[in-house]
Amino acid sequence: MRAGLGVFPTAEGGPARSPAEEACCSAAMAEAAAGCVFEDIRYEDIQVEAAVGRGTFGVVFKAVWRGKVVAIKSIESDSERSAFLVELRQLSRVNHPNIVKLYGSCDNPVCLVMEFAECGSLYNFLHGAEPQPRYTAAHAMSWCLQCAEGVAYLHAMKPKALIHRDLKPPNLLLVAQGTVLKICDFGTACDIQTYMTNNKGSAAWMAPEVFEGSNYSEKCDVFSWSIILWEVMTRKKPFDEIGGSAFCIMWAVHRGTRPPLIRDLPEPIETLMTRCWDKEPSQRPPMSEVRDTMSHLMKVCHIRPKPSVWHSGTAGRYIYLQWMIDDFSCSLV
């Protein structure tokens, strides 16, 4: 392992935990994971390569384990421990093609070993890469369908369903040349039976009942999904025109502001989108209905995105796609 790339910082980036602190966190991991099945991985079997990003908590590294490229997610401070244990507990319960896979965990140092997404986040694909990758409405539909499938699975889990609570493009990863979407970052996920009033999620995608401090349900994920749909259809950051702080966005959403409607967006898609961002959670459809509606629309429209050739971007820094499917025109009203 190269200096400075370990899961916990070296002297250059701050002190690592003491043996006593590691033991405490390991005990907490064991308690959090009680009843869950995942592999206990030896850290010595992992070859850490480089830091690739951050999640809701901790740093994410690219690494190799058993000849497979993986992502290693660590915690940097005790304040991140709670979210770490939540993600460990929740990811160990799930198994779905549209949810990032947990291979196991290490207890010294403490980290999660997960599936690596070679295409990065949907957010970076939409807004961060240069030259800007080209995609079509067909791909936007496919990504949103896959997101809905993953969330519908979470909401239907037994005996305890899960609410993600932080759905947004930075937490949606792309693999398989950008054709497969996977939900990640479960540090704020919770059981559906939990009485929830605490403020989780990011302002631009957050349902109004969440930041208003009201009791909320799985319908908060439905609201977030509708904002994601708008974002991938327009390739614009939601509420970017408002500017200012997160409070400005929350105040606008509280007062009924939503992203502008999209000119030439097929009516069934617009209807679904506006139903999902309704002020009243009870008026939003369940995610199972969102999934079924999107699946039906994909079949009716014969939408199936296919990537062609991958190319290196400027100075080899980015990867982008040349898509083969024609666009249907979408513009802001």
Alpha helices in 110-167, H assignment, sequence order: 122-123, 137-155
What SS3 string covers 168-223?
A: CHHHEEEECCCCEEEECCCCCCEECCCCECCCCCCHHHCCHHHHCCCCECCHHHHH
Whether residue 166 lies in the annotated active site? yes
Burial class (CB in 10 A: 0-12, 13-18, 19+), 307: middle
The pair of three-digit structure tokens given for residue 14, joined into one six-digit string: 């701050």
From 166, 185, 221, 278, the catalytic residue: 166
The pair of three-digit structure tokens given for residue 296, joined into one six-digit string: 């039906």
Is 182 annotated as contributing to ligand binding?
no
Phi, psi of 104 (to 5 degrees): 170, -165
Measure the CA angle with vertex 150, ends 143 and 35; round to 5°. Answer: 150
- Residues belonging to the binding site are 73
Known catalytic residues are 166
Residues annotated in the binding site for ATP, as ranges?
73
